[in-house]
Amino acid sequence: MSQIGKQVVDFEVQAFANNNFKTVKKSDLLGKWSVFFFYPADFTFVCPTELEDLANLYPEFKATDCEIYSVSTDTHFVHKAWHDTSDTIKKIQYPMLADPTGVLSRGFDVMIEEVGLAERGTFIVNPEGEIVAYEVVAGNVGRNADELLRRLKALQFVAKNPSEVCPAKWKEGNETLQPSIDLVGKI
């Protein structure tokens, strides 16, 4: 079943961010763009490469008025321990959400029930709290933060310009299309 247009589940979870613990809830999302970046577990192999990729582009995400939330079923204490012991994870400035009860993993439909871990799911949420893009990738394949940022910018563009659409490989500043009968069969 499609997640597009689905409202983010109501939630309140603990997070590790900026060397502190804090509470993050659904109301914190409203009014800005968000990326939920689910991964299976801390202290693993592919996960830190993805989280570092996001950390390297975090200033660019923030410049688009978007907050990144990484999410695993680990506790906020485990997130802190990973941060304290890994040079890669020390680079992270975005909130690392703790989901030990699975409220988010189930709410976004990425929980692997048999093992209590989340799939590699990525969700872009608009300022109204609706999912506007998502992908779920097999556990042994990492994701690309450059493509995620490109997709976010395209979604933001069409949200501001509803009469236009972004073609494949569209990048900020490139030409868009205006759907009309005149384009049918000419692309």
Rounded Cα–Cα distance for residues 131 and 172 (Å): 21
User: Could you list the pLDDT tens digit for every one of the 187 residues in the chain?
Assistant: 789 999 999 999 999 999 999 999 999 999 999 999 999 999 999 999 999 999 999 999 999 999 999 999 999 999 999 999 999 999 999 999 999 999 999 999 999 999 999 999 999 999 999 999 999 998 889 999 999 999 999 999 999 999 999 989 999 989 888 877 776 766 7
* CA distance from start to end of the chain: 30
The DSSP annotation for 17-55 comes to ETTEEEEEEGGGTTTSEEEEEE-S-SS-SHHHHHHHHHH
Would you name the residues annotated as active-site residues? 47
Rounded Cα–Cα distance for residues 102 and 73 (Å): 6
Rounded Cα–Cα distance for residues 97 and 50 (Å): 15
Q: Quote the Cα angle for 123-108-27, to 5°.
A: 80
Going from the C-alpha of 156 to that of each of 42, 124, 150, the distances in angstroms are: 31, 10, 10
Residue 163 CA neighbour count, 13 Å, CB half? 2
User: Are the beta carbons of 22 and 96 closer than 8 angstroms?
Assistant: no
Residue 70 CA neighbour count, 13 Å, CB half? 29
**pTM attached to this predicted model:** 0.94
Question: In sequence order, which residues have a C-beta less than 8 Å from that of residue 171 and are 6 or more positions away?
Answer: 150, 153
Domains and CATH numbers, the chain: 6-161 (3.40.30.10)
